[in-house]
Amino acid sequence: MNNSPFNTFTQLHQAAAPLVLPNAWDAASALLCQNTGALAVGTSSAAVAWSLGYADGGALPVEEHLHAIARIARVTSLPLTVDIEDGYSQNPEEIAELACKMVKLGVVGINIEEGRGIPEPLSEKIHAIRKALNGRPLFINARTDVYLNALASGDKAINMCIERLELYKSAGADSGFVPGLAAVEEARSLAAGINLPLNIMLLPGMAPVSEFFAAGIKRFSTGPALFQSVYGHLNESLKQLTPVKSNTDLFSKALDYSTLNSAFIKEAYREAI
């Protein structure tokens, strides 16, 4: 049990180095995260939704989400944590059922968010998840959108985050996610105000991860940035085809076929044994 993926993932939040968590969206991106040295892998709800043809923000059907996570879990041996938005429901029991299905797929953690609303509904959802799990381990990362949705600023924002995260901690959350927080000193004040591992999302122009880690932030997520980067490259590559001027740029940053295909062959072999 000490070497279980859940325990490994939990320990990464208390390690002497920051947990930089890449956010994948399908089996291929998750496997690349693993093969390039990631210690754990998460998903981005936006990236998963886009990859399946849906907008972010609750439009992704739950069953399609579960199928996508099953494919990711099949190819990676890393601890896997899944972004489930607000649980795709306002019914705590339905969300608890979804969390239990994720655990059955091998998921060790979830992100669950409050959105623009008051914090009490998320507290109820977390409590229902813990009750339904009945002691089975799941690392719950509770997201507050105080900064992301500009609900407050300065000391008021810090205090609002602390109040909300304390409520979620009491309900059973293991860590707090504060996307939109981008100032080191505010991160320091927040980390000093609550005894809970904190997660922020990497944003353009932010100070280095090392400075935020020194300020008390433990976990750093990429959010949809990797998806945006990959598809931005795809967009530029497609422009090279209309009209085709040169084949050189098309292949300049591509992974070779054998590297990609052999990775999945190895995973299929590992699953078979």
**pLDDT of res. 245:** 58
**Residue corresponding to tokens 């052999």:** 262
CA nearest neighbour of 42 among 76, 66, 18: 76
80-83: strand order across its sheet: 19-21, 219-221, 198-201, 175-177, 139-143, 109-113, 80-83, 41-43, 23-24
**pLDDT of res. 251:** 72
**Residue 1: pLDDT above 50?**
no
Distances (CA, A) of 249 to 236, 246, 258: 10, 7, 20
H or E element, residue 140 = strand 139-143
pTM of the model: 0.90
pLDDT class of 269 with cuts at 50, 70, 90? low
**Residue 3: pLDDT above 90?**
no
**Greater pLDDT, 262 or 46:** 46
**Greater pLDDT, 229 or 263:** 229
- Residue-wise pLDDT for 179-201, tens only, equals 999 999 999 999 999 999 999 99
Mean pLDDT of 16-42: 98
Measured from the Cβ of residue 101, the count of other Cβ atoms closer than 10 Å reads 16
**Residue corresponding to tokens 């859940």:** 6
Burial class from Cβ neighbours inside 10 Å (0-12, 13-18, 19+) for residue 140 reads buried
With contact defined as beta carbons under 8 Å apart, do 223 and 196 qualify?
no
Tokens of 86: 């607000």
**pLDDT of res. 249:** 67
**Residue 255: pLDDT above 90?**
no
Domains of the chain (ranges; CATH) run: 5-223 (3.20.20.60)
- Residue-wise pLDDT for 202-246, tens only, equals 999 999 999 999 999 999 999 999 999 999 999 998 888 776 556
Average pLDDT, the chain: 93
β-pairing, 80-83 vs 41-43, is: parallel
- Residue-wise pLDDT for 96-150, tens only, equals 999 999 999 999 999 999 977 899 999 999 999 999 999 999 999 999 999 999 9
Measured from the Cβ of residue 131, the count of other Cβ atoms closer than 10 Å reads 12
pLDDT class of 27 with cuts at 50, 70, 90? very high
Report the share of the chain in percent with pLDDT over 90: 84
* Angle, CA of 40, 46 and 48, to the nearest 5°: 65
- The number of residues in the chain equals 273
- Rounded Cα distance between 133 and 99, Å, is 8
Q: Where are the beta strands (DSSP E) in 18-133?
A: 19-21, 23-24, 41-43, 80-83, 109-113
pLDDT class of 29 with cuts at 50, 70, 90? very high
